[in-house]
Amino acid sequence: MDTAVPVTLTLDNVLYERKGDIAYVTLNRPKVLNALNTPTWDDLRTAFEWARDDVSVRGVILTGAGDKAFIAGADITELAQVTAFEAQRSSRFGQEVLDLIEGLGKPVIAAVNGFALGGGCETAMACTIRIAVETAKFGQPEVKLGLPPGGGGTQRLPRLVGKGRAMQLILSGGMIDAQEAYRIGLINEIVPADRLVARAEEIIKSIAANAPIAVKFALDAVNKGLDTSQSEGLLLEASYFGLCAATEDKKEGTAAFLEKRRPKFLGR
C-alpha cells in the first residue's frame, strides 16, 4: 500500500484506518459501550492482522467509539447463553486475539477513553502502552457474573501491577479510576480527553523514529522474557542484540551518532 494514501476499511464492528505509518483501530459499537461479542473479536483479529501485515504501519492506536467507553466488557446477552464448551472456546479465541495484539511486533497504544472493564481491561493490558482520560474506569468484574476473567486478566494483571493488587481487583470485581490505575502501574499516563489520540500519536512517532528491527526485537525480548527465567531472558536478549548488530540499521545508527546527524533507518 502507498503510505501517502489514507486507507479506511470498515468491518461490522471495528473501523480500521491507516494514515501515513499509523493504523487506527476503533471498536465501533458505541450503543452497547463497545462490548465484545464473537463477531467483534473476529473483526478485531482481522484489523490487527491487517496492521501486522502492512509493512508501512509502524504502530497502532486502539480506542473505542464515543466518549463513554473504551470497551465496557463482554456482551452479556451473548455470554448468558453460552455452554461450558462454548465458554472455554470463546475464552481461548479471545486470548489468541490478545496474543496477536501483544506480539504484533509493532507498538500498540491503548487510548482508553472511558470504561475498560472485563475484556476491555484485558484488551488494554495486551497493548504495549496504555494512556487514559481522567474519567476512565478499570476493572475485572467477572466474578460478579459467576465467572473468572477469561481473556488473560488472571495472567497479565499480576504481571503489570503485582500479585496482591491484581488479586484484590480480580476477587472483589471492583473498579478503579484513572488516578489509581496510574498509581499502581496499570496505565502509563493520564491525558486530557481532547489530547488523547494526539498524545498516542506522539508516542507512536517517538518509537517510529527508531530502527524498526531493533524495536521489534526489543518488544519480543520483553514479552518473551517475562514468560521465562531471568537467565533465559538474558540469553534471548543477547541473541537479539547480536542479530541487530548485523543489520544495516545498526551501521546507520552508530554512524549517525558519530557524525552527529539524524539517522535514516530503512528497516534492514
**What secondary structure does DSSP assign to 99-130, as a single string?**
HHHHTSSS-EEEEE-SEEETHHHHHHHHSSEE
The catalytic position among 102, 122, 232, 237 is: 122
Q: How far apart are CA 84 and CA 107, in angstroms?
A: 35
Name the band, by pLDDT with cuts 50, 70 and 90, for residue 238.
very high
The pLDDT, as a whole number, for residue 93 is 96
- Catalytic, 142? Answer yes
Reported as type and span, the H/E element at residue 224 is helix 212-225
Paired with 63 in beta bridges are 26
Question: pLDDT digits over 42-56, tens only?
Answer: 999 999 999 999 999
Q: What share of the chain is helix, strand, coil (3-state, %, to 5)?
A: 50, 20, 30
Q: How far apart are CA 148 and CA 141, in angstroms?
A: 8
Q: How far apart are CA 160 and CA 74, in angstroms?
A: 22
Name the band, by pLDDT with cuts 50, 70 and 90, for residue 10.
confident
pLDDT above 70 (res 5): no
% of the chain beyond a pLDDT of 90: 91
% of the chain beyond a pLDDT of 70: 98
The pLDDT, as a whole number, for residue 8 is 86
Q: How far apart are CA 193 and CA 200, in angstroms?
A: 12
The pLDDT, as a whole number, for residue 19 is 94
The pLDDT, as a whole number, for residue 69 is 97
Average pLDDT, the chain: 94
pTM summary value: 0.94
Of 58, 56, 193, nearest to 131 by C-alpha is 193
Name the band, by pLDDT with cuts 50, 70 and 90, for residue 6.
low
As to burial, measured by CB atoms within 10 angstroms (0-12 exposed, 13-18 middle, 19+ buried), residue 158 is middle
The pLDDT, as a whole number, for residue 4 is 46
- Catalytic, 189? Answer no
The pLDDT, as a whole number, for residue 2 is 46
pLDDT above 60 (res 102): yes
Name the band, by pLDDT with cuts 50, 70 and 90, for residue 79.
confident
Question: pLDDT digits over 160-213, tens only?
Answer: 999 999 999 999 999 999 999 999 999 999 999 999 999 999 999 999 999 999
For 260, the grid coordinates are: 552527529
Contact 85, 50 (CB under 8 A): no
The pLDDT, as a whole number, for residue 1 is 42
The pLDDT of 142-148, averaged and rounded, is: 96
The catalytic position among 142, 189, 201, 232 is: 142
Give the burial string for 70-80 (b: 16+ CB within 10 Å, else e).
bbbbbbeebbe
pLDDT above 60 (res 3): no
Helices then strands, each counted (H, E), the chain:
11, 11
